[in-house]
Amino acid sequence: MNGVGAPTPAGFRAVALAVAWRSVHNFLSNPAFLVPAVVFPLFFFVAFAGGLSAIANTPGFDFPSGYTAFQFVFVLLQSAAFGGVFTGFAIARDWEIGFANRYMLAAANRNGIVAGYALAAFTRAVVTWTILTAIALVAGMEVGGTGVELFGLYGLAVLTNLTATLWAAGVAMRVRSIQGGPLMQFPVFLILFLAPVYVPLGLLSGWIHAVASVNPVTALLEAGRGFVSGEPVVVALAFAVAVTLPVLFGLWARGGLKRAEAAG
């Protein structure tokens, strides 16, 4: 048996591509989806890199590529994470309008549904990253990293996007309503902003330093900032975290898919 519903590798690809195509088409053709996805990270980049640039003069702040590059890494990873969350909103909406039921009926290999949404989230993120990177370079961002190091930076962003997508997909398929949006968004927002956002980890103090020290996002930020400055640090730890999280949340998303299957 061949086609979208076939439980074969070809069937998996067909389902994934069909889901991804529809999601990407909706994203690119609807300003209500496209504009927030682009404006939101640009707002944070301008607010942080521009409005808080005086922080670079703080004693002990010695990031070699300057505050613009320092904040660019955070906003890049933030946009990656929220691109995944926004995809979760789209999944929930598909359930509310009944379209997700069509996917479930048409696809015997239903893992392809999750893969399709993940591919759509990646495509959405690439659009945002392209615009964000161009604006950062125009704004004078100093890049000290080599091509390989920048590949590592965007590799971390890809894995962050995948992690957030799988988290949001697991929530969306359990709740199957856009009312689950805050549950998708708030934990991601919280973990991002409990990392060293405005200054390096060494300049934090008190409870925020303690929390940031064990926050997995901290390793991603430190490695990403090392990549952009040409002085890589904690690379092995960052990629260990970045690879482990999608595996864990892949199981979470698969559990959500099973819940959706059981609910009919």
Model pLDDT, residue 264: 65
Q: Is the predicted pLDDT of residue 2 greater than 50, yes or no?
A: no
Instruction: For 7-42, write each residue's pLDDT tens digit.
Output: 677 678 888 888 999 989 888 888 877 888 888 888
pLDDT of residue 224: 97
Distance between CA atoms of 164 and 142, rounded to whole angstroms? 28
Check: CB of residue 89 under 8 Å from CB of residue 180.
no
Q: Examine the pLDDT at 3 and tell me if it is beyond 50.
A: no
Dihedral pair phi/psi, residue 201, rounded to 5°:
-55, -40
Average pLDDT of the residues of the chain? 89
The Cα 263–Cα 240 span in angstroms is 35
The residue type found at 148 is V
**Domain residue limits, the chain:** 9-263
Mean pLDDT value across residues 81-90: 93
Q: How far apart are CA 87 and CA 206, in angstroms?
A: 35
Q: What are phi and psi of 5, to 5 degrees?
A: -85, 0
pTM: 0.91
Mean pLDDT is highest, among 40-44, 89-93, 140-144, 210-214, for 210-214
Distance CA 155, CA 254 (A): 23
Scan for tokens 């989806």, then name that residue: 33
Q: Which whole number is the average pLDDT over 93-121?
A: 86
pLDDT at position 7 is 60
